[in-house]
Amino acid sequence: MKIRINEKIVDVEENITLFQVKSIFKPNADVIVLNGFPVSEDVTLKERDQVFLIKRGELPDQQELEFMMIARHTPGVYERLKNSKVGIAGLGGLGSNVAIALARVGVGNLILADFDVVEPSNLNRQQYFIHQIGLFKTEALFDNLKKINPFINIITHNVKLTSKNIPDIFVDCHVIVEAFDRADMKTMLIHTVLEKMPDVFVVAASGLAGYGPNNDIITRRIANKLFVVGDLVSEARPGNGLMAPRVGIAAHHQANQVLRIILGEFDEFENKKYE
């Protein structure tokens, strides 16, 4: 029968067990993943089972890293993520967290745009480090993402986004994440993309300041190509600042919605899938 071992199709005997496969193909493996789930007990394998054999501490090359990431995804998901292209407009509390999440799941192409530098006040919620203070956010986040996944394609634009340059900067993106602080910039980007890039989805955010209830942060479909994350009311103001936990909740809502769009998985109230 045929099974997959570290993404290679191999012929094995009927009724072969997981531990027998390990002893044949990678005896020194100390992590075994079967059909996306780590296992520690021996089982009899079936046709089309997917097995990943991993040795802890080995520095993987690109193919091996992809195999290890695929091992924890639902079968068929990784290739679609790898071939997708996502733009992130603004690399602050939302954008830097979204970028980290998308890099970790294996989105293959990220377009990052921001003109700001890392400031000390950013460290309370943004994915930067104290030694990066003074660096352009595009430069600092590029370095951080490459330490997570050195094989994804990252293009940075150290520029202020406008209605004129957005279509060129984010050309061919499947989804654009709106991650600005200012309301006027949020509105500008949303209108620009919906009007000039009609095939592109926008995942925006509004209302995530302070430390209000977790479950008030939700994802709403506002228009056919527009999703907005947040509670829509909690704006940053004196006494109600932007803090890592709630910003992180919203950012991961955005990142997960990006994945759902790429994979064509919408909620039951959503009636049009991304092709």
Q: What are the tens digits of pLDDT across the range 25-82?
A: 999 988 888 887 889 899 999 999 989 888 887 666 777 777 666 666 666 787 889 8
83 and 45 both lie in a single domain: no
pLDDT for the residue numbered 55: 80
Identify whether 251 is part of a domain: yes
Would you place residue 207 in the very low, low, confident or very high pLDDT band (cuts 50, 70, 90)?
confident
Give the three-state DSSP class for 81: helix
186 shares a domain with 94: yes
Q: Using alpha carbons, list the distances in angstroms from residue 152 to 80, 100, 106, 157.
A: 14, 12, 7, 16
Q: Are residues 116 and 192 in the same domain?
A: yes
Residue 99: inside a domain, yes or no? Answer: yes
Residue 237 is predicted with a pLDDT of 63
Closest of 252, 273, 275 to residue 95, by C-alpha:
252
Indicate which CATH number applies to the domain containing 46: 3.10.20.30
pLDDT at 274 over 60: no
Contact in structure between 47 and 2 (CB atoms under 8 Å): yes
Two tokens, residue 12: 């094995």
pLDDT number for residue 96 = 97
Q: Are residues 192 and 245 in the same domain?
A: yes
3-state secondary structure of 213: coil
The reply to whether 62 falls in a domain is: no
52 and 83 belong to one structural domain: no
Q: Would 273 be classed as within a structural domain? A: no
Same domain? For 120 and 17 the reply is: no
Give the structural domain span for 32: 2-57
Task: Tell which wins on pLDDT, 240 or 224.
Answer: 224
The Cα–Cα gap between 147 and 230 comes to 30
Spatial contact of 122 and 201, defined as CB atoms under 8 Å apart: no
Q: Is residue 196 part of a domain?
A: yes
Domain co-membership, 172 together with 258: yes
| DSSP bridge pairs for 264 | none
Residues 123 and 6 in one domain: no
Distance in angstroms between the alpha carbons of the first and the last residue of the chain: 34
Q: 52 and 86, same structural domain?
A: no
Same domain, 51 and 84: no
- Number of structural domains in the chain: 2
Task: List the beta bridge partners of residue 54.
Answer: 31
Q: Which amino acid is at 251?
A: A
* 53 and 169, same domain (yes or no): no
Do 153 and 234 lie in a common domain? yes
Q: What is the pLDDT of residue 57?
A: 72
pTM across the whole model: 0.77
